[in-house]
């Protein structure tokens, strides 16, 4: 029997395999030049020296430890007494966080810990009376990812607990503005998880912070095609980012002390191809929602 038909079948199999084979993954960048498409060649020199973290990076990637007195608005949102998300103080009775942090959770499971930079230790621990997600939020989708928590008690303000200032309705953060994010993200992020997840071990005991910069909206929209909305802003810096378990935490304009965003979602952590995405607190609809409940 001739081997010609067999040879033809083998060649056909090789061609088909080449057609369906996945494209190779993008290699990790060897230098900060890979970030030039976001920031240009003059990106912050200190940031350029940070070790690059792959898609599933570590906690607040590229950050430093934080004293609660430098970010007194920061809180931990706990589920069944374990840290789950971050949040920020709006007033003595209201806290701001992300909707995906509270979706489907009975308020009786929730607590807010304020006034401490230690994970699950110290500060003031208050029960949550109710959690109100934006009415347009849909579980599993990134849009309208904002929630306000009404506390069962009252926070006592001082050097470690202060309310954050929110932007005016319609305010847009300028491109390249330095913004500060803070939180208790995982020491090593887990593949397949976003910026929050089930309570887990190996979280850093000390609060951490990182400075990133606002990314031009059109640039970010080009990255997240069809997903980025007017209720979102983007921020990034070479080798720096928020990550798993930082969700709901604040993104604050460093110069003005105004919270411009809420940690929401992103593709991996500190991936140079994908900026972090935050709830846009200057959006008129988002601001109206917060004001209608918290009064600020």
Residue 145 is a catalytic residue? yes
Catalytic-labelled residue, pool 83, 100, 134, 280:
100
Asked if 247 is an active-site residue, the reply is yes
Please report which helix (H) or strand (E) contains residue 292, including its range. Answer: helix 284-294
Cβ neighbours around 267 below 10 Å, total: 15
Is 50 considered catalytic here?
no
SS3 annotation, 85-150: EEEEECCCCEEEECHHHHCCCCHHHEEEEECCCECCCCCEEEEEEEEEECCCCCCCCCCCCCEEEE
Tell me the backbone φ, ψ of residue 49, rounded to 5 degrees: -80, -10
Give the residues across from 240 on adjacent strands. 237
The active-site residue, picked from 32, 182, 247, 264, is 247
Determine which one of 44, 59, 145, 253 is catalytic. Answer: 145
* Cβ-Cβ contacts under 8 Å for 287 (sequence gap 6 or more): 166, 167, 168, 169, 281
Question: What residues are annotated to the active site?
Answer: 100, 145, 247
């Amino acid at each position: 029997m001739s081997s010609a038909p067999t040879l033809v079948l083998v060649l056909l199999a090789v061609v088909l395999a080449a057609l369906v084979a996945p494209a190779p993954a993008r290699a990790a960048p060897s230098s900060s030049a890979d970030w030039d498409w976001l920031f240009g060649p003059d990106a912050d020199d200190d940031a350029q020296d940070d070790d690059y973290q792959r898609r599933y990076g570590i906690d607040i990637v590229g950050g430093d430890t934080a004293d609660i007195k430098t970010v007194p608005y920061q809180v931990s949102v706990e589920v069944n007494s374990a840290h789950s998300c971050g949040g920020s103080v709006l007033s003595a009775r209201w806290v701001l966080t992300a909707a995906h942090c509270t979706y489907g959770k009975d308020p009786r499971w929730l607590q807010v810990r304020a006034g401490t930079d230690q994970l699950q230790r110290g500060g003031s621990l208050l029960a949550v009376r109710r959690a109100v997600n934006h009415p347009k939020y849909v579980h599993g989708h990134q849009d309208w990812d904002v929630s306000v928590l009404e506390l069962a008690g009252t926070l006592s303000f001082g050097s470690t607990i202060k309310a954050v200032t929110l932007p005016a309705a319609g305010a847009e953060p300028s491109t390249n503005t330095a913004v500060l994010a803070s939180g208790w993200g995982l020491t090593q992020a887990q593949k397949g998880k976003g910026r929050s997840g089930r309570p887990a071990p190996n979280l850093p005991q000390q609060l951490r912070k990182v400075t990133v910069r606002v990314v031009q909206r059109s640039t970010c929209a080009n990255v997240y095609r069809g997903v980025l909305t007017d209720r979102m802003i983007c921020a990034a810096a070479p080798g720096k980012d928020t990550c798993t378990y930082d969700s709901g935490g604040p993104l604050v304009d460093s110069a003005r002390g105004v919270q411009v965003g809420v940690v929401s979602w992103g593709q991996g952590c500190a991936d140079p191809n994908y900026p972090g995405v935050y709830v846009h607190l200057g959006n008129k609809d988002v601001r109206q929602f917060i004001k209608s409940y918290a009064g600020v």
